Structure 1
Amino acid sequence: MTAPARVGPSPSGGGPTPSPDLDDLTASIGDRIRAERLHRGWSQSQLGNRAGLTKKHVGAIEAGHTTLPVVRLAQLCHGLSVSMSDLLSDRWVMPERKVPRVLTPRQVQILAEARTGAPLSRIAVRVGMPRESVGSRLSEVYRLLGVADLPYGRREAAIRAAEERGLLEPAALDDAA
């Protein structure tokens, strides 16, 4: 008589392993692609252009809302200059976002004025720039500091981020206020 077949991993560690949850796997790959993109300071459109995909498709992949055929994964990895094996490896480590080492003196001046809570029109007068240019410069600073995705009221978050990273001296803010 033969012994009954065993199901599951053997005591020695061999045998079948459970399949990963495909939704979790799709989300994890999307998170990795987003992290690699943000590390490079690229928008979804920029990655899409490099990979031959639309911004909408890149966004759906990063959000884990779509299955990712191997061909699309290869396109994204090529666009990111990352090998598929590295991106999918258990040894993959989330890269840190690139952060500027310094803000320009003009960016410091505008952020310092923004700290006062003044409206853009008043900041524009103080720094001698058109209101639209001040708004554009602030948006650029928010993007550089990684707080552009936050809702309205980003001034405080940008100032905290700049100070925490040593990009903006608190004394410079006090002098400009």
Structure 2
Amino acid sequence: MPTLPDDDEWLARERRAIGDRIRVRRVRDGRTQESVFLAADIARSAYQAVEAGTADARITTLLKIAHVLGVHVSDLLRD
């Protein structure tokens, strides 16, 4: 079984990458952060933290964001 790296930097990188994919899709669609978090029915601060990659996101939050952006949640999790 593979082991996790000793430091949490890889987690921070992955969170930022997910946030970047959300931001790119949102901007490509011409949407504001507000339009996405309101449509997804999530708190502004939660959405902003996910998009900034500064917080762990619940799967429910990612599913809601993906739905609003019209993508499958897996598109937010991988390149």
Q: TM-score range by the shorter chain?
A: 0.7 to 0.9
Residue 89 of structure 1 deviates from its aligned partner by 2.6
Write out per-residue CA displacement over residues 2-47 of structure 1, whole angstroms, 9 at most, x where no aligned residue. Answer: xxxxxxxxxxxxx636558111111111111111111111111100
Letter in 2 for 1:37: R
TM-score by length of 2: 0.81
**Correspondent of 1:85 among 49, 67, 74:** 74
Tell me the residue number matched to 1:38: 27
Determine helix, strand or coil for the equivalent of 1:78: helix
Tell me the residue number matched to 2:2: 16
Larger Rg belongs to: 1
In structure 2, list runs of 5 or more residues that go unmatched.
none
**Correspondent of 1:64 among 53, 56, 59:** 53
Q: CA RMSD in A?
A: 1.9
Identity %: 34
Whether the 8 Å CA contact 1:60–1:66 is kept in 2: the answer is yes
TM-score by length of 1: 0.39
* Greater relative CO (CA pairs within 8 A, separation 6+): 2
Q: Give the ranges of 4+ consecutive aligned residues of structure 1 lying more than 6 Å apart after TM superposition.
A: none
What are the equivalent positions in structure 2 for 1:107-126 lying under 5 Å apart? none
For 1:26 and 1:58, the matched residues in 2 are separated by 13
For 1:36 and 1:24, the matched residues in 2 are separated by 18
Determine helix, strand or coil for the equivalent of 1:77: helix
For 1:52 and 1:59, the matched residues in 2 are separated by 13
Q: How many residues end up aligned between the 2 structures?
A: 76
